[in-house]
Structure formats: structure tokens, C-alpha cells
Amino acid sequence: MAILLICGGASQGSVETDSMKGAMVALRVEPAILYIDECFNSTVCGPDSVCTNTPGAYTCMCQLGYEATQPDQQPSETNICIDIDECVKDATICGPDANCTNSIGSYICTCFPGYREVSGVGPRAKSVTVSSEGDGETGSVILGISDLLVSAMVQPGQNQTKTTVKSSTVDLSIETIGPGNNNGESPILSANGNTMQINLDSMAQNNNGSAAAAFMTLNGMESLLSHQYFETENRTEMNSDVITAILPLMNNTNLTEPVNFTIHHKKAVPESGLVTCVYWEDKTQETGAEEGSEKGGEKTKTMRWSVEGCWVAYTNENYTVCSCSHLSTFALILQIGEPPPENPFLEWLNRMCVMVGLFFFALAVLTFLLCSWNPKINHTARLHLCLSLGLSHLLLLWNDRYLEHKLACTVMAGLLHFLVVASFVWMSLEALQLYLLVRRLNKVQVIQKDGLPRLLLYLIGYGVPFVIVGISALVYSDGYGATEAGVCWLSQERNFNWALTGPVITILALNCILFLATLWSLRPTLANMKSDVSQSKDTRLIVFKILAQFVILGCTWILGFYQTNLFFQVLFIVLNSQQGTFLYIVHCLLNKEVREEYIKWLTCSFNKPKERGSVRDAPSVSEDLDKAEEQTNG
């Protein structure tokens, strides 16, 4: 029997017919259109399916937890829906710490012994898409809900327990201690590779013998609480997970000692980078309220990353240890300082001054090698100071040409390290020899030859820098090479640059002390001399020699600590690039014997005697001291 439903006009009716025996079909008739509801037949799609009627057709779909025998075809009476074994299809569907049991049309997850299910956390959490500026309000709400969930998992007054929750979105560790469980140890809680160390025993003493601590990370929270909420002039980026530490169900949450967090970096810290420990500050302040007024003021909500109460206890290329005097939500923010803009004037000034200094270095080296000197004067330290410092200046001019070649850049950086350290060692040896000479004069000793033995000078002058560079290369060979500054130099990673900075600072301090000690020892000697030196009216020349010796010994390199000011930058470039110039003037040009040698070379008459007084005599520092020694012995 079939049922025919005819709809049209203002009346409706039904007609029964036997034209379709053995079938039951419902027909809707509209003017000129006939629709057949195939879904009226409950078996048209087969068992465990859903039929959806559409104009002129119908669609069959399997119920949730089922799939068609032939998945590429629509379910039907012959292509029936069968149960899906979710436990086989997705082995991780229940998470890492649960068993999966398949059931008809569904599945059941059962936690392993020692674990329990926490509803509303993990894969059930709703995903949120935010911009790079973050969404602090949403993040704060999620943190508040998470704190409530964690507190619900803690039972007050219970014995010592450890609870761990791990999923694709949450990593949580909870540790509680009860009365009588205090063992004096500070437990370490971990979450996603990060750790927290807290003294629960001291907390329990102020909370009736019980205490609990929770440490948690929420995947993706760094996108909500982004680095944009940290106020700084530097460029910033998140460099860690966002971690949360709370003390659930505790009346007194004041820390008796700082808590240490070991937080792993998401990326290597660049040379210009600074890792900062921060916590999430979310507070509402009321402003503008008048005293005695019932009406409150305007409420201002503040959400930001703050550094108050947190500091970096230790950091390396892989992780940072943050110490904090309170508990909250924490993270590591990487501050990347923008390099100062290049100053074309300073670049030009540096190149010009270095080239002038190199010219006088070359003149000084030739003079020390070719001139006839008083056998009492030892120029070994001055000669090798010129060689080391001149070569280092020359290589610095060509440094940027090797950036594209890794091996050449590494060799260049290592060679520069050796030459710079050697230069400062020779400066220190020159300062030491000058001081020893003055001391001998004060003791009225006959000086056969000033200075230390040459072999000892060579061992110290080149042995010390060789040992420093050798140890540095063995400890961290990757520290030599191209840097972010665009030069072949020492990397700041792992504080490798201190392989140069440390020796330089030490030698600078030693040279300044030796220079002051030399001036103090020289004062009575110059005052007691009977020669024309002590009676000379040209005190400006003596002052110039003293100041020049200050530059020669490298004491002006201390200006490198004041490079934020243009004046000090210019002064640093001019003085330190002209060490060769001052050395040549004091020890060569102002030396009477050297001037006579120059005159012989220029006139090509080595045997013709020269008129005395034709060139004003201006003894060098060593010459002054030699004369002082002769008259002291006389």
C-alpha cells in the first residue's frame, strides 16, 4: 500500500492507491513538482547511519564512532556502517598515561595506576588564535581557571604525595607534604623540561605542618602573554615556555627564601642578546578616589611582564636560572640590543689615524734595527711592542675582507687575539723595565745594561699570549670567527670574549700601577740631579715625555670603558692609534744619537763630524735616566 499526499491550493487531502504494492512511499506534491522523501524508509542507509533528505536526492552518513565498510562509498543497505576501533586507529587518543578500551560506537580511557583524570584540561581545551601582540586578558583568564583546577586536585592535610599530569597541552607537577613528612629537602618539580626548586618544609612550618606546591606549563600560553607586554627600548622575543608556580590551599603563601627556576631557552642567545627573568603582573588599581567619598575612583587594569622580585642567578647558552622572591607566572624574555648606527666620521677618522700610526710604527722598527745604540739601552721590548701592535692594527684594517671565508676568518680572529694580548704583554714589560731602571738609580747602582735578559723577555712576551690563546682554542674553538658586528673576532657566547678582556684589564691595571710607581720613584732622582736636565727651563718637554710614556704603556686604553660619548670615542681612536707615533717621537726623534744617525743617512757622509748644537738636544727618557745615573755615581 502507498500513501499519496497531494498539497496544493487552499486544501489538502490524501489518496490511497495500490499501484505500488509492497512499498510505502510518502509523496509531496506541489504544482508541477514531485518530491520523494527517501529517508522515510529507515533502512535505506543501513544500520547505525543517518539519512538526510535533500530536494531530489538524499545523503547517508555513518553515526559518530562508525564508518562505512567501503569508506570511499556512501553507506547503504549493502555498504553498512561498522564500528571504528579508535584505540587502534589512534594509539595516543587517551594520552601517554592511560589505557584505551574500544566499545561499540565509542571508546573508554582508563588512567594508569597512580594517575587520575582531570576534566576540562588537556585536549578538551579550546584552541585560541591570537596575533603577535598577544591577548593578555584571555591569558589571565586561562591562568585563573588553571589555578582553580590545580587547587581542586590538592587535598589539604594529606601525607606526602606527588602528582603528575601530562598531555599535549598541559604539563603539571604537584607535591604536597603533611605533618610529620618534613625531611628537610627542597623538592624539585618539573614541567616540560623546566624545573622549580622550593623549600616546602619552611612553608609548612607556617601552615600547620602542611604545604603544597604546583608547577605547570600550558602549551601556547607564550602567544597569549607575548613579549609585547614587556616595556623596553630593545627588540624583544619570548625565549621560553610560560611557567606557572602556585601554592594551592595555603593560608600563608609568603616565601621564606627565594625560589629557583631553571628555564630552558627556545633558541640560542645572540651576542647582543640579554636574557631577562620576568613575571606576569595582572592588577587593577583605583585612581582618582577622594577621601571620605563613597564614590570610588576610576579603575585601571595593568597587564604586563615585570622584573620586580626576579633576577638572573645564572645563565648559559642552553638555560637560565631565575631566582624569585614570590610565586606567579614566569617566562624568559630575550632582549636584543639594536647595534648603534655606524658613524661615517668615526670610521674615516679611525682609518686615517691607524694609517698614520702604522707609518710611525714602521719608522720606529727601522730605527731600532738599523741605528747604533748605547749598549746599555735595551730596546727589545719597544721593538716587539711596535711589531705586535703594528701588525694587529694592520690586520684590523683588512679584517672585514675575510668574513665570507669561515676558515680564514677563524684564523684571522685567533691571530688577532694573539697579537693584541702580545702587545699588552710587551707594554707591561716596557713598564716593568722602566720601573726597575728607576729603582736602580735610586739605589745608586752601577748599570751595566738596563732591562731584563732578552731570552726572558721573549719567553714572557710571546709565551704568555701563546698559552692564553692555546687554552682558549682548546676550551671553545668555535669562539673564533665572524661576529654580529661584522668582524672576525671573539664571540660573546659562553663569555668567550673574556679570554681577551680579562688579560687586557689585568695588564692595564698593572701598567697604571707601574707608571705611577715610576713617577713616584723618579721624583727625588730628578730633583737631586746636577745636570742641565734638572735645570732645564723647558718643562713642557718633560711633561710631554711623561704624557707620551702614559700613552706608550697603553694606559689610555681605559677610555674604552667610556664609549657612549662621542668625545671619548674620538679621544680613544686618536690616542690609541698613535702609540707608534708617540713611541717614535720619544725614543727616536728626541734622541740625540738617533738624530745624528739620521743626518748621516741624509748627507751620505758617515765619517764627517757634525756641528754640535745645530739641532737642539732633547734627551729621551732612557737618556735622561742614563745621565742621572752617571752623575749619581759621580
Domain ranges within the chain, ordered by starting residue? 2-84, 136-284+302-336, 344-633
Judged by average pLDDT, the poorest of 75-79, 204-208, 551-555 is 204-208
The pLDDT tens digits for 326-351 are 888 889 888 876 656 678 888 899 99
pLDDT-derived band of residue 26, with 50, 70 and 90 as boundaries? very low
pLDDT for the residue numbered 104: 81
User: In sequence order, what are the residues at sequence separation of 6 or more whose Cβ sits closer than 8 angstroms to the Cβ of residue 309?
Assistant: 279, 324, 325, 326
Alpha carbon separation from 277 to 225, 319, 324, 327 (Å, rounded):
14, 12, 9, 13
DSSP strand pairing (26-30 vs 66-68) = unpaired
Decide: 84 and 65 in contact? Cβ < 8 Å: yes
Question: Taking residues 364-386, what's their average pLDDT?
Answer: 83
Give the residue, 610 or 43, on which the prediction is more confident.
Answer: 43
Q: Which of 1.20.1070.10, 3.40.50.300, 3.10.129.10, 3.90.1650.10 is the CATH number of 344-633?
A: 1.20.1070.10
| Cβ atoms within 10 Å of 240's Cβ, excluding its own | 27
User: Quick one: which of 425, 454, 455, 452 has its CA closest to 437?
Assistant: 452
CATH of domain 2-84: 2.10.25.10
Mean pLDDT lowest for which of 111-125, 278-292, 320-334, 457-471? 111-125
The per-residue DSSP string of 252-304 comes to ----SSPEEEEEE-SSPPPTTEEEEEEEEEEEEEEESPPTT-SS--EEEEEEE
In the prediction, which pLDDT does 338 show?
Answer: 62
β-pairing, 106-111 vs 98-103, is: antiparallel
Torsions phi, psi of 519, nearest 5? Answer: -60, -40
Across the chain, which distance is largest between two alpha carbons, in Å? Answer: 152
pTM over 0.75: no
Q: How far apart are CA 145 and CA 125, in angstroms?
A: 11
Q: Do domains 136-284+302-336 and 344-633 have the same CATH topology?
A: no
Average pLDDT over residues 113-127: 52
The pLDDT of residue 420 = 95
CA distance 423 to 554: 9
- pLDDT higher at 432 or 103: 432
Query: Which of 21-30, 255-264, 496-505, 577-586 is the least confident region?
Result: 21-30
Q: Tell me the per-residue pLDDT of 527-580, one tens digit each, with 9 for 90 and over.
A: 665 455 445 555 667 777 778 888 888 888 888 888 778 888 899 999 999 999
Kind and range of the H or E run holding 224: helix 221-224
Cell numbers placing 64: 559518530
- Average pLDDT for residues 477-500, to the nearest whole number? 85
Residue 227, phi then psi, degrees to nearest 5: -65, -15
Identify the architecture of domain 136-284+302-336 in CATH: Sandwich (2.60)
Other beta carbons within 10 angstroms of residue 309's beta carbon come to 15
